[in-house]
Amino acid sequence: MIKAIIYFIILAVIYGVLYYFNHKTPKPEGCENLRSSCEGCNITSCMAHPNNDRLFKEENKNA
């Protein structure tokens, strides 16, 4: 059980570190406002959902 918990923590930390570095890596020039052509399904929390356009614009304004 202890092995499993330690293993899980290691995996979660690896994911967290990669997420952090990915978030910190600047997007290449000309790719700041890329949007997918997704028309949207019922998963409204998905970043590609058209409902999140407003949030996306605000995020880019702050960046």
- Residues in contact with another protein by the rule CB under 8 A: 3-4, 7-8, 11-12, 14-15, 18-19, 21-22, 25-31, 34-41, 43, 46-48
Q: How far apart are CA 31 and CA 22, in angstroms?
A: 15
What's the min distance (Å) between Cβ of 11 and another protein?
4
What's the min distance (Å) between Cβ of 34 and another protein?
5
Residue 18 or 58 having the CB closest to another protein: 18
Question: Is residue 38 within 8 Å of residue 50, measured between CB atoms?
Answer: yes
Query: Which two structure tokens, joined as six digits, stand for 61?
Result: 């304004």
Q: How far apart are CA 43 and CA 45, in angstroms?
A: 6
